[in-house]
Amino acid sequence: MENRCFYNSDGDFLIVPQKGKLLIYTEFGKMLVQPNEICVIQRGMWFSIDVFEETRGYILEVYGVHFELPDLGPIGANGLANPRDFLIPVAWYEDRQVPGGYTVINKYQGKLFAAKQLVSPFNVVAWHGNYTPYKYNLENFMVINSVAFDHADPSIFTVLTAKSVRPGVAIADFVIFPPRWGVADKTFRPPYYHRNCMSEFMGLIRGHYEAKQGGFLPGGGSLHSAMTPHGPDADCFEKASKAKLAPERIADGTMAFMFESSLNLAVTKWGLKTSNCLDENYYKCWEPLKSHFTPNSRKPAEFN
C-alpha cells in the first residue's frame, strides 16, 4: 500500500471525529483521537492518519489565524477549557527507507500537489516550542451557566476561538453543548429563538440534541446562516414552555457542537446534491408553532 503524508499550506484543521478512532502520525509524535475528543493540526505540519474501521467526522479549517482559548474575563482561571487538558504528542520518529517512496501531498491555495521522497517524513528525533498539534477530550470542559435565572448566550460554551482582528468578532468559534445541570428558574431553558450575526453550523457527536430531538442524528449537520431567525422545534417549545422547573440533568449521553463564524459558509454541490442528504422538510419542524410562521417557499427562490 502506498505511503502518504499531508501538509496544509493554507490553514489550520480542527478535526471532530464522530465515528471511529484516528491514529494520527505527525512530525511531533502520535495522537490517538476518538469521538468526543477533538484535535487541531496546524498549517505546515506533516501528518498522516490511520483508521481501523468506518470513520467519519467534521473538519473546520481556518486561514491566517490559530485557535486559542477565549479570554475568560470574570470567568477566571478555572472555567471552560483548561490549558492543561490539551494534550500534545511525545516526540517519535522512524528512520526507514520506504519502498516505492513516500508521497507528500500539499494543500496550497485550495489545490493539492504531490511530491515523492524515499524516507519516512516522520524523522524528527526531538523538538521544542509550542507550535504543536494537540488534542482535547470534551469531557474535561468545565461548564458554567446560569445558576439562578435567565438564559446565557451559547458563547458561554466556547472551547476554542480563532479571533479576527476586530475585537469580539471571531473567524470561527468551536462551541459544545455538554452534559450539565439545568437549574435556571423562571426561564425557558432550551436555546431561545434568535437571529445571529454569525453563521451557525451544528453537528452532533452522540446522543440527542435537546432543541430538535427527532430530526437531528449523530453525524448530521445543520446550517443557519447569518441573520435568519431560528430556534427549537415546535415539540421542544411546547414541552419546555410547560415544564415545571427543577434541577435536572441536560444532555447526558449527548455531545452536540457548533462551528460558528462571522463569515458566511458556502455549501458544496456535494452537500446540496450529490450526497443526497439534504433534509427538504427541515422547515416543517417550526410549522406547528403558534406563531403561524410558514415559510412555504422552502427552496429559496431568487427574487425580482
**Any idea which residues carry the catalytic annotation?**
151
Reading the block at residue 150, the C-alpha cell is: 435567565
Q: How far apart are CA 54 and CA 171, in angstroms?
A: 31
Picking from 190, 149, 157, 150, the residue whose alpha carbon sits closest to that of residue 173 is: 157
Pick from 79, 207, 215, 219 the residue near its own copies by CB under 8 A: 79
For residue 174, give the DSSP letter: E
Q: Compare residues 21 and 287 and give the one whose CB is closer to its own copies.
A: 287
Interactions with its own copies, residue window 133-162 (CB under 8 A) = 141-158
Looking only at residues 198 through 257 of this chain, which bind its own copies when binding is defined by CB under 8 A? 225-228, 247
# residues near its own copies by CB under 8 A: 86
- CA-nearest of 174, 172, 202 to 262 is 172
Q: Is 303 in the site for its own copies (CB under 8 A)?
A: yes
Please pick, from the candidates 2, 52, 53, 84, the single residue that binds its own copies as defined by CB under 8 A: 84
Instruction: Kindly identify the residues of this chain, within the stretch 92-131, that bind its own copies according to CB under 8 A.
Output: 97, 101, 104-106, 108-109, 111-119, 123, 128
Binding mask 31-50 for its own copies (x = CB under 8 A): ------------xx------
Q: What are phi and psi of 139, to 5 degrees?
A: -70, -15
Question: Listing from the earlier edge strand, what are the strands of the sheet with 170-177?
Answer: 158-163, 170-177, 255-261, 199-206, 221-224
Residues marked as binding?
Answer: 194, 200, 209, 230
CB nearer to its own copies: pick between 21 and 206: 206
CB of 265 to its own copies, least distance (A): 10
* C-alpha distance from residue 69 to each of 88, 109, 246 (Å): 16, 27, 32
